[in-house]
């Protein structure tokens, strides 16, 4: 399982239950990486999407303890149920897509984290842990900086050298 996200210079990921930046090059990377795969999110991230609808062309699994079953995505009500669901898929095809609480919960189980770094401060109220300070994580890829839409961004990959196994 992998996590995918963008962060600002302070590892901020969002504000007012929305994203801080809308950067087409990053959205393209996100879409191309996750399409045809499985995306896992918390209830607030689902609610933050247009119309509260899941992402197209992907299997959407949402941890939503008080949620009702629905047709357009798989609602799970506990971590145990989430792991049972994720276990049905090849772990390389499963992407944690937010938000802050979901990333925090699932980070130890992710073997890689794909982080788009935006060289700006977005005024976040939701944060991801700074992986440079986590001894289990190692920066294994960093692209050249790219200028896009008025932002400088870099695509990076962190590898988790101490992956935890899911327990139901």
Residues that bind ligand NAP (CB under 6 A): 5-6, 13-15, 17-19, 41-45, 48, 63-66, 79, 97-102, 105, 126
CB of 15 to ligand NAP, least distance (A): 6
CB of 72 to ligand NAP, least distance (A): 17
Those residues with Cβ within 8 angstroms of residue 3's Cβ, 6 or more apart along the chain or in another chain? 95, 96, 97, 103, 106, 107, 110, 112, 113, 114
Smallest separation, CB 46 to ligand NAP (Å) = 7
Find, among 76, 1, 64, the residue nearest to 34 by Cα. 1
Minimum distance from residue 57 beta carbon to ligand NAP (Å): 18
Which is nearer to ligand NAP, 77 or 159 (by Cβ)? 77
Nearer residue to ligand NAP within complex by CB, 25 or 101:
101
Query: How many CB atoms sit inside 10 A of residue 144's CB?
Result: 6
**Do 87 and 68 contact (CB within 8 A), yes or no?**
no
Q: Which is nearer to ligand NAP, 17 or 87 (CB)?
A: 17
Q: Is 65 helix (H, G, I), strand (E, B) or coil?
A: coil
Q: What are phi and psi of 19, to 5 degrees?
A: -85, 155
Q: In the complex with ligand NAP, which residue's Cβ is closer, 101 or 163?
A: 101
Q: In the bound complex, what is the minimum distance in angstroms from residue 152's beta carbon to ligand NAP? A: 17
Is there a contact between 96 and 73 (Cβ–Cβ < 8 Å)? no
Choice between 79 and 163, CB closer to ligand NAP: 79
CA dist 126 → 20, 44, 72 (Å): 10, 12, 27
């Amino acid at each position: 399982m992998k996590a995918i996200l963008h962060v600002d210079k302070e590892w901020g990921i969002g504000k007012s239950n929305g994203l801080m930046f809308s950067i087409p090059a990053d959205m393209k990377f996100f879409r191309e990486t996750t399409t045809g795969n499985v995306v896992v999110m918390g209830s607030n991230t689902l609610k933050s999407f247009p119309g509260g609808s899941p992402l197209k062309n992907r299997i959407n699994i949402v941890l939503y303890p008080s949620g009702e079953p629905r047709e357009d995505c798989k609602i799970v009500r506990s971590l145990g149920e989430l792991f049972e669901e994720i276990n049905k898929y090849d772990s390389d095809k499963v992407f944690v897509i937010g938000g802050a609480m979901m990333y925090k919960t699932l980070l130890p189980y992710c073997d890689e984290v794909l982080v788009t770094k935006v060289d700006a401060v977005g005024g976040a109220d939701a944060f991801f842990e700074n992986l440079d300070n986590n001894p289990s994580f190692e920066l294994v890829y960093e692209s050249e900086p790219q200028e896009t839409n008025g932002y400088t961004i870099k695509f990076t990959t962190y590898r988790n050298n101490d992956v935890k196994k899911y327990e139901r």
